Amino acid sequence: MSQQYYFSKFLVTSQVIYASKYSFALVNLKPILPGHVLVAPKRIVARLRDLSKEEIDDLFESVQVVQNVVEKAFGGTSSNIGIQDGPEAGQSVPHVHVHIIPRKKLDFENNDDVYVHLEKNEATMNSEFDSNSAIAKDGLPKASMNRIIPKDEDRAPRTMEEMVKEAKWLASLFKEDAHSC
């Protein structure tokens, strides 16, 4: 991949799974559920309102493409798609980004608990980007993976090695004509 990708000030090129003209998708440092990824514009702006019409169109077309792939890859039957637009809305990294979280029936006991986890995830994301304290996991995620949600305090950030491995696997699932990485 010749282009470098930044999520705010963080170089994330090796975590990128998809790129379009104005957007890119990357694996998440602390996924709430398996397959939780982010889609962001290439231009670093803090708020959705700061994007041009072309960037917004491309961002949401990219969300749709990425959603289809991660749902299939992780056996999802639905997805949560969310944006925290500004610090008071829970955004901790000042770069517009869309969360895509593939969902399955009963992956949360109370379906709306995903929003509580999303808010906690966003609140700790910026401070944990450089952390090396992740718990190692073996192998790639599988579509049949049991979705047991650990308590937020038990969800450690993933290692770079884990994220790169997942990114390579997911990137391979995009068709060549879809601008995959």
Tokens describing residue 70: 């991660």
CB-based contacts of 104-110 (< 8 A; 24+ apart in sequence): 104/75, 104/76, 104/77, 104/78, 104/147, 105/77, 107/33, 107/147, 107/149, 108/149
pTM above 0.95, yes or no: no
**Strongest mean pLDDT among 67-81, 103-117, 162-176:** 67-81
Please, which pLDDT band fits residue 109 given cuts at 50, 70 and 90? confident
pLDDT value for 117? 65
CATH T-level assignment (fold) for domain 6-176? HIT family, subunit A (3.30.428)
The answer to the question of whether 92 is labelled as a binding residue is yes
Sequence spans of domains, the chain: 6-176
Q: Give the residue, 138 or 174, on which the prediction is more confident.
A: 174
pLDDT at 113: 66
Q: Is 4 annotated as a binding residue?
A: no
pLDDT tens-digit map of 116-145:
666 665 555 544 443 332 323 333 333 333
Q: Which of 95, 97, 117, 179 is catalytic?
A: 97
- Mean pLDDT, range 153-168, rounded to an integer: 87
Residue 93 is assigned to a ligand binding site = yes
Residue 67 marked in a binding site: no
- Told to judge if 97 belongs to the known catalytic residues of this protein, a careful annotator would answer yes
